[in-house]
Structures are given as C-alpha cells and as structure tokens.
Amino acid sequence: MLWDLFSSMIPPIASDFVAGESPAEAIAHVREINRGGVGGIVNLLGEHYSERSPADADREEYCSLLADLGCGDVDGTISVKPSQIGLDVGETVFEDNLATIVERAEAEGVFCWIDMEDHTTTDATLDAYERHATETDSGVGACLQANLKRTPDDLERLAALPEKVRLVKGAYNPPPDVGYRDRDRVDEAYEDCLEFAFREFDGGIAVGSHDPRMIERAKELYDAYGTDFEIQMLMGVRTAAQFELASEGYDVNQYLPFGPKWLSYFYRRIRERKENALFALRAVAGS
C-alpha cells in the first residue's frame, strides 16, 4: 500500500534527490551548486552486486567520471560503495577495483570517499581505507556510523591517519548487540563521537548530518578545539541551509547520487524502512 501511494511520486522526488541519469547531468548539478559555494560528492547509484561484471563496469564508470571531475573547473569528489565495486563478490575484487579507482582519483587530483554500508562490511571497508591512507599519497576518506557500538574504538584507531573521516548517525538498523536503535541514544553517541574527533583529530572531520543541533555542536567544538571540519548533507535535504552555511564561510558538500538505477534505489530504501518514505516527503516539503 505504501509503495502504491509513493510510486506515483517517484519522478518529482527523483528530480529532487537524484542528479539525473548521466554523468553529464551529475557534473552539471555540481557546477550549479558550486555557484552557491557548495561542493559536490558524486555517487553512481548501484550496490550489492553478486557478480563481478557489473562491479567492474561501475569501476570504469567511476574512472570516466573522475576524468570529468579532474578537469579543474569543478569542485567535486566521488563516493563509492564497497558492495558496488565487488565486496559481495569477494574482498579481492573489492580491493582491486578500489585500488584502480583510488589510483585514477589521485592522477586526476580528486578526493575519493569510501561509503560505509551495513555492519557486516565495516572491517573490510576500514581495512581498505587504512591501507590507502597509510600506503599511498591518495586522498581517501571513510565513513563511520555512530549507531554502531564499535565506532568509538574505530575512531580511536583512525585518529592518527592523515586522511578524512565522515561521521553519520547511521542509515541501517543494526542488531541490538551491535548497535543502537533508540533515536536519543544514537544522538548521544553521535555527540560523543563528534567531541572525540574534534579533540583528538588534527583535522579532516566531515559532519554528515542534517540535524541542526549536531551542526551547532560541531561549531561549538570547532571554537573549543580549532579542528578543521566540513559539513555534508544529501541532495534535496535542507538545501537552503546548505547554501546558508556556505555563505557563512563553512565548508559544505552535498552528497548527490546519479544514474539509471534511481528507481530501484528508492524502492529498496522504502522497502527497508517505511520511515524513509516519510523522511523523503518531509525533506521535499522542507528543503
């Protein structure tokens, strides 16, 4: 019933949340938000491939995209999902494809974020991130989810690395023994993670949150510790606030997905959690 109601709204919602189907449309959107002082984090839609061929194809799509982003007149980075480039096929496939993408990103002078997926992928993702952060000169970043109980230990592990870490609350519902589901408890964990990062990191903190309270807390921690940070929000969510923060001098970057898989992307999200549909509706109304 929920999907029947929501499916008729997919086209307008897709235009708010997805930067088109082609790389050219994604680059055009990045240029548009650049005019307002906001950078772009470009993500090709696709994930959880069980065979190598689509993972390799998306690797090549990212390499082509990197050439466009590296042209010098675009303020943009990329963000890659491990399961999109082969983690579900095997860790070796993931590592090979990530190495190719990171090498190309380095050659083009473009930063590469490695997304975090559900808790079962955390070790493989952080191992790959740490390897690239310590063994290459490439610009790479990892994402940590505050709703996982292990995250404080992971933050401590990554604090000395010379790259960036994005802190998010977490979009996946972990098992109770692995993470938190209560909203207030997740908020508390997020604030604790923020404080640790601002206190212990030399820089490179990305505050991945639309929550005004968390963004204000990050500003307070910056005043207290002087640690450089950026703010990251999704395309279509609190858009006016993104440009307002950029106009105030904060480093703001918009995470923007693109690609022909947008329909399945929304369908999966709505099937995973009914709250995602309501979130999308609120975001469109309030952006």
Catalytic residues: 115, 166
Q: Are 141 and 112 in contact (CB under 8 A)?
A: yes
The candidate with the shortest Cα–Cα distance to 46, out of 33, 32, 31, 56, is: 56
Q: Are 204 and 164 in contact (CB under 8 A)?
A: yes
Element (H, E) at 203: none
The candidate with the shortest Cα–Cα distance to 38, out of 216, 204, 234, is: 234
Strands 205-208 and 140-145: unpaired
Detail the DSSP E strand segments found in the chain. Answer: 39-44, 76-80, 112-114, 140-145, 164-168, 205-208, 229-234, 252-258
Detail the DSSP E strand segments found in 119-249. Answer: 140-145, 164-168, 205-208, 229-234
